[in-house]
A and B are shown apart, each in its own frame.
Chain A
Amino acid sequence: MIRVQTDDFDPGNELEQLRSRSAGQAGAIVSFTGLVRDLNAGESVSQMTLEHYPGMTEKALAKIEQAASEQWDLTATLIIHRVGLLAPNDHIVFVAAASPHRKQAFRACEYMIDYLKTQAPFWKKETLQDGTRWVEPDVSV
């Protein structure tokens, strides 16, 4: 399941829903929650704006889920990504994989967030004390 939304989400609630969807077949759920940091590249960040490409974003996220499901034994997956204006400490992204086995859940979760960071059409713009800047892609991933 994928969701692109401006609203916040509750990671605990999302995990419970994932557990329900797995209906006794999952032995493990691994999740990743991404947050807005108040510091990036040495400068303090007061706000972050997430831009995306409506339509293509949903297709890209669905493809990521599909690719994970083909590689690992998963009972349920979830990708949520927020767009719009965010503040430090806000949730940005939530990725979770439920599987009968923990190693599969760990690997699938890491795969999905890594793939998302390089393939899904989102762009971050930071508001600093003296202006704004577009975030540069993280080449260390």
Chain B
Amino acid sequence: MIQLRYFASLRESLGIGEEQIELPDGIHDLGALTHWLQNRDTNWESALADRRLHVAVNQEIVNADARIMDGDEVAWFPPVTGG
């Protein structure tokens, strides 16, 4: 299983904050996982196409080529605005 999390405006666009899924067959990196999620429907396709989104794997910011393994926590979110 992998834990997926979505925050702020992205969470609202997708209508979901977190979910657990089985790591899909053949998916080994973040780019492929994002693409797999985008295939769910046009809403997911457009929401995750935003190039400003950041992604964290196990709570560390990563690039699109980051490897994804069973047990990972992967989070997508817009640019941060704290402080």
Counting CB contacts under 8 A, is A93 at the interface?
yes
The answer on a CB contact under 8 Å between B59 and A116 is no
Q: A53-B75, A56-B56, A59-B59 are in contact. Are A122 and B80 (CB under 8 A)?
A: yes
Distance (Å) between the CB of A113 and the closest chain B CB?
Answer: 6
Chain B residues with CB below 8 A from A56, complex form: 56, 59, 75
Quick one: which of B1-36 are within 8 Å of A by CB? 5, 7-9
Chain A residues with CB below 8 A from B44, complex form: none
Counting CB contacts under 8 A, is A102 at the interface?
no
Chain B residues with CB below 8 A from A52, complex form: 82
Counting CB contacts under 8 A, is B39 at the interface?
no
Counting CB contacts under 8 A, is A3 at the interface?
no
Which of A11-19, A67-75, A133-141 lies at the binding interface?
Answer: A133-141
One digit per residue, 1 when the CB lies within 8 angstroms of any chain B CB and 0 when it does not, for chain A 95-137 equals: 0000000000000000001001111111111000000001111
Given A92-B82, A124-B81, 11 other A-B residues pairs in contact with their CB atoms under 8 A: A34-B83, A56-B75, A81-B82, A117-B80, A117-B83, A118-B80, A121-B82, A122-B82, A123-B80, A137-B79, A137-B81
- A-contacting residues of B (Cβ < 8 Å)? 5, 7-9, 56, 59-60, 75, 77-83
